[in-house]
Amino acid sequence: MKTLSDEELTNLAGNYFAPKGLYRHTKALPFLGSLECNTKTLIAGQWTELIVEYTVGASGLADGAWIKGTFKFYSDWALCQTSDPKEDNYVSLEYTPGPLHEGQTAATVQSLAVRFDQKGHERPFQKAIIVNIVDGDMNPGDKITVRIGDRRWGSRGTRVQTFVEDKFLMRWYIDPVGTSRFAPIKPDIAFPIKSGPVARVKTITPRVVRPGVPAPLHVHTENIWGNATADLGNLKAEVKLIKVGSKAEVVQTKTLPFAAQGWTVMNDTYEFVKDGDYDLVVAEIAGLDVVGYTANDFNITKEKWEHTLEIIKRVDSPGEFVVFPGTEWCGNSAAGGDHNVVFLDDPKTSQPEFPFDKKGNVARSFEWNEDGPAELIPGAWPLDEVYATYAHTPESHLLIPHVGGRRCNLAWHHPQLERLLEIGSAWGLFEWLLRDAVKRGWKLGVSANSDEHRGRCGGGVPGTAVFGTKGGLTGVLADKLRRGEVAKALRARRTFATTGERLVGIVRTDNGHLQGDDVFVKDNEELVLRYSFFGAGGYSSIEAWDASGRILHRDLQKEAETHTTASTPRKIRVTWGGARVYDRYREAVWHGSILLPGAVISHIRPFGGVLHNAEDEIKQLSQNQVVSETRTSGDFDGVDIFLDDTSETPSTISVSGHLGGYVKVGDALKGNPHNPQPRFNLVATAKDFTQEGGVRDDIVGGAGLFVSIDGLLDVPLPKRVEGSFTVKAESGSGGDRAVYFVGREYGGGKVITSPVFIKYDAHFAHHLHLLGPQNWKPKTGFFVNGTAPSSKNPIGNPSFPGSTTTGGLNWLGFDISEFNHTTILAYNLAVGGATTDSTLIPTYTEGVATYVDQVNTFYDAYVHQETPWSWDDVLIGIWIANNDVGQSFDRNDTSSLYPKVSAHYFEQTQRLYDAGARNFVFLTCAPQQLTPLMIEKGPESNAKVAAAVKLYNEILEKNFQKFKIAHPDAQAWLVRPSKSYETAIANPQEYGAPDAICTNEDGVSCLWWNNYHPGIQIHHLLGADVATTVGTPWFNPQ
């Protein structure tokens, strides 16, 4: 109701009694009250006292009413506490009654109660300071003062979140009548959190570049918490390019200005003119080439999604910066767990199926956000329905199981959609997840990403809450920085993952295979895997792993110690790490003490994650004691301890302390003990910790919790490591073997390669089934009852390359021996002179098996066999067009005949699909009018041939498109042989022929083997075209 005048009140209400003037005062107040804050701007990580004053609104507050001051769950603002006013982050309350109007009753509130609850409200505003009104009520105009980080008892105050935010929001909610239903008090308290002064300069460059290729250089300044600074003006950087190992030879020097406004960044390029290692001393900040943007799917509204796509379309720049849109399917672990869904197609030309799929079904996990419905509405749930949503076009999607808030459950796996596994992010490091996948036999490559919710993709250092490590990085081995090439590389698992450093790990075989590839070897055959690792701080070890565990350990610390002198300093290294649990809130909080009785410490050098967290600390307390307060989330912290020259090595060392975790409920000051083993105590003798490998104590519970002590020489470790490892197969091993490599730097950096997938039995090779006529399709003399194809003879029978009409290899031979990505077993059912259906177009001679007959043979021989193939590995190749045209081009009814023939053609193809085939490559009719035979027949006949070829191909291609639309779960490719023919005919001399029409049965002196069959050069071009069109996993694109 509007505010009534005195006259209106009298007319409507009549005579009544009320406090004088209170009506107008009440109506002038916001109904739910108002907020004031003493702060207009803050610096990330600073200590402050935040004072919020709430003025009770017109609603007043009933006995049992309560108020919540909330901020977002991802903020790492220090946890508040209400138990000890002398400690940091204490929250206090004060009540101030407002002036009373004449006749107004005083408030009856007896006290205010305050507590802090990490889960005190709804996401995203989960963290809550909760104020309860106890025993009485409050009047409009009364005030509650909340001091966050009350400094009046001597504390430092409260520590602000450690990352920058243009508009930090503290949203206050009120339940004025005690019903436990809340409404926001508007407006929110909002202020910017800025980065503050420069603490360091950070340089980002590629770790490996080709000679002569310009390499980008990114330089920016950061504050103590790793935030890029801004608006500092007139800063410059001197950048030197130094040749490593050449006595600091300076190759180039530049002085470059930073941006005066906005982020303090500058960018440049360098060109490395020859091979070698270089140091640079000194995407905008993070220097990324590829970004996949995702957010929790339940939080994405249709409007926000469309806005995000528009931004991606605008910033995506082929050759410079590629951005993939995506979402995070947020399923509980019991329903499959978190999965990133990455849309690989260009959003400019292909609308991603989100938030609805193509059938109108909800594609998100559920709909439940601050702007959405009051009730939780389930969508694609469980993970099975996510698979069902996107499996129709797996090449357009990439699902990445990961460990964030809701750990992925590897009991689920979709081989076509899930090609990568996230093994590191700001949530922590999860090498154990890759081991689990390999043991299960899942064929997954590796990735590491940010997922840190704080706007620092590729550059985020850990804060102080649930995001306990640096954001990770994924290395992609793609030919070009373009969407299509990057997408193919991701789905081909040609990746490596790092803990955030610019490290590189590459594994290759002698025949050109890389990590992520299938490599087929003969039973009992050894496979040499060659590795190259490029680091930043220096590698301490290189390892190889398979399902059985670690199968290679190259100790680079030990190797480096063999090249030392007697004067090389010694050190004692103490390391601790791991995670408290496998799930969310995995942070392990270490309170440790290192005692070296009788020793004298000269100095210490901390390493690991502690260097990235300004609140963690390792310090020397006395001449023989070091203490630590650090946190790990699957990573490790540690300290190198150097003794004074006069000190003896201590006879014993003890590392002891207590272990806790992140406090997600209850009093932050009381901590959260690691219940399986809350205390640790490792005591080692000098004999123990100076032996190879030192001593290690694995702590009960958690994910890889440990403490270790090593006696080492202080030697420089290599930043570039290369070598080889021979994988030996046991007799009759068969099956698959996934082998991946790990490069570990002494300071905590790590790079893990995707596995190489070794297949020892030819049964597991990719199959290529060929159907067609002899004249154009490569009949090789294969009999289904003869010797089956194998790695020794990929066509089975007769001996490779079989009977051909080229003078040597035909296009099939090239595809399975030169252009193959893996071992391909070719089952060639093509028969000479075959047509699609002899009832429509007769075969070359009577009794020749048609396409119909060949499909029947295929069914009889292979569809119902005892050990079926995996249809994902089977490619059906069909080239039946040439005899269809060659046997009918001079007929007068081709316009009505060819549609019938094409209908029968695709009826047979449908039978192949029904049998389980999902991969098809169709070849159109070759340009027969270009053959010497057809040219000899004269212009009139030649024109008929050309017209027939054109008509046949038009109908074939139209039906091909219909087939693709009708079978979205299948992959189908179309190859036009005319390209290969015309390329060679246009330049015969380039391909070894004197002209375009000569023939020679050697297959190489002319383009033609005889006047109808092309020779080797045209077949080589055609084989390359097929390989490029289809690509992996069968072929290497040319």
**Residue that wins the pLDDT comparison between 418 and 869:** 418
Per-residue pLDDT band for 44 (boundaries 50, 70, 90) equals: very high
Segment 105-116 mean pLDDT: 95
pLDDT digits (tens, 9 = 90+) for 382-441: 999 999 999 988 989 999 999 877 899 999 999 999 999 999 988 889 999 999 999 999
pLDDT for residue 1024: 95
Q: Residues 620, 648: one domain?
A: yes
Q: Residues 890, 949: one domain?
A: yes
Q: Residues 104, 44: one domain?
A: yes
pLDDT for residue 288: 83
Percentage of the chain modeled with pLDDT above 90: 64
Nearest Cα to Cα of residue 167 among 305, 71, 306: 71
Segment 136-142 mean pLDDT: 96
What is d(CA 298, CA 311) in angstroms, rounded to the nearest whole number?
Answer: 20
Catalogue the E-assigned strands of 40-188.
42-43, 47-48, 50-55, 66-71, 91-96, 111-117, 127-134, 143-148, 158-159, 165-175, 183-184
Element (H, E) at 1024: helix 1016-1030
Q: Is residue 668 part of a domain?
A: yes
What is d(CA 369, CA 100) in angstroms, rounded to the nearest whole number?
Answer: 41
For residue 459, pLDDT beyond 70: no
Q: Is residue 744 part of a domain?
A: no
Q: Is residue 271 part of a domain?
A: yes
pLDDT for residue 767: 57
Q: Residues 276, 141: one domain?
A: no
3-state secondary structure of 595: strand
For residue 454, pLDDT beyond 80: no
Residue linked to tokens 């590829």: 290
Per-residue pLDDT band for 868 (boundaries 50, 70, 90) equals: low
What is d(CA 500, CA 485) in angstroms, rounded to the nearest whole number?
Answer: 23
Q: Residues 707, 670: one domain?
A: yes
Among 714, 738, 771, where does a domain finish? Answer: 714
Q: Residues 319, 256: one domain?
A: no
Instruction: Give strand pairing partners of 145.
Output: 53, 94
pLDDT digits (tens, 9 = 90+) for 230-240: 877 778 888 87
Are 676 and 700 in contact, with CB atoms under 8 Å apart?
yes
CATH of the domain at 327: 3.20.20
Q: Is residue 924 part of a domain?
A: yes
* Alpha-helical runs (H) found in 477-572: 483-491, 556-561
Q: Residues 462, 334: one domain?
A: yes
Nearest Cα to Cα of residue 974 among 988, 986, 961, 991: 961
pLDDT digits (tens, 9 = 90+) for 257-309: 877 776 666 565 544 444 444 343 335 566 788 888 888 888 888 888 999 89
Phi/psi class of residue 989: alpha, beta or left (left: φ > 0; alpha: ψ in -120 to 50)? alpha
pLDDT digits (tens, 9 = 90+) for 620-629: 999 999 999 9
pLDDT digits (tens, 9 = 90+) for 883-921: 999 999 999 999 999 999 999 999 999 999 998 999 999
Q: Residues 687, 822: one domain?
A: no
C-alpha count within 13 angstroms, C-beta hemisphere, residue 57:
19
Which residue range(s) make up the domain with 637?
A: 564-714
pLDDT digits (tens, 9 = 90+) for 724-735: 999 987 644 456
Q: Is residue 733 part of a domain?
A: no
pLDDT for residue 732: 45
pLDDT digits (tens, 9 = 90+) for 181-231: 999 999 999 999 998 898 888 888 888 887 877 888 888 888 888 888 887
Among 240, 260, 281, where does a domain finish? Answer: 281
Q: Residues 233, 371: one domain?
A: no
Are 964 and 973 in contact, with CB atoms under 8 Å apart?
no
Judge residue 610's burial from the number of C-beta atoms within 10 Å of its C-beta, 0-12 exposed, 13-18 middle, 19 or more buried.
buried
With a CB cutoff of 8 Å and minimum separation 6, the contacts of 607 are: 637, 638, 639, 640, 746, 747, 748
CATH of the domain at 70: 2.60.40
* Cα 1016 → chain centroid: 44
Q: Residues 297, 380: one domain?
A: yes
CATH of the domain at 275: 2.60.40.1930
Backbone angles phi, psi at 228, to 5 degrees: -65, 135
For residue 375, pLDDT beyond 80: no
Q: Residues 468, 495: one domain?
A: yes
* Cα 970 → chain centroid: 25
Helix and strand numbers (H, E) in the chain are: 16, 55
Average pLDDT along the chain: 89
- Overall domain count for the chain: 5
pLDDT digits (tens, 9 = 90+) for 787-829: 888 878 888 888 888 888 899 999 999 999 999 987 888 998 8
Segment 84-110 mean pLDDT: 95
Q: Is residue 848 part of a domain?
A: yes
Segment 738-766 mean pLDDT: 85
pLDDT for residue 254: 80
Segment 997-1017 mean pLDDT: 95
Residue linked to tokens 């490719």: 973
What is d(CA 989, CA 991) in angstroms, rounded to the nearest whole number?
Answer: 5
Segment 874-885 mean pLDDT: 93
Q: Is residue 727 part of a domain?
A: no
What is d(CA 850, CA 78) in angstroms, rounded to the nearest whole number?
Answer: 76
Among 281, 310, 341, where does a domain finish? Answer: 281
pLDDT for residue 281: 39
Q: Is residue 12 part of a domain?
A: no
Element (H, E) at 638: strand 636-643
Q: Residues 886, 912: one domain?
A: yes
pLDDT for residue 270: 46
Segment 135-162 mean pLDDT: 96
Per-residue pLDDT band for 780 (boundaries 50, 70, 90) equals: low
**Residue that wins the pLDDT comparison between 461 and 776:** 461
What is d(CA 82, CA 85) in angstroms, rounded to the nearest whole number?
Answer: 7
What is d(CA 162, CA 191) in angstroms, rounded to the nearest whole number?
Answer: 15
- Pairing relation of β-strands 588-595 and 652-661? antiparallel
CA-angle at 880, arms to 879 and 886, nearest 5°: 120
Per-residue pLDDT band for 458 (boundaries 50, 70, 90) equals: low
pLDDT for residue 446: 98
Q: What is the pTM of this model?
A: 0.76
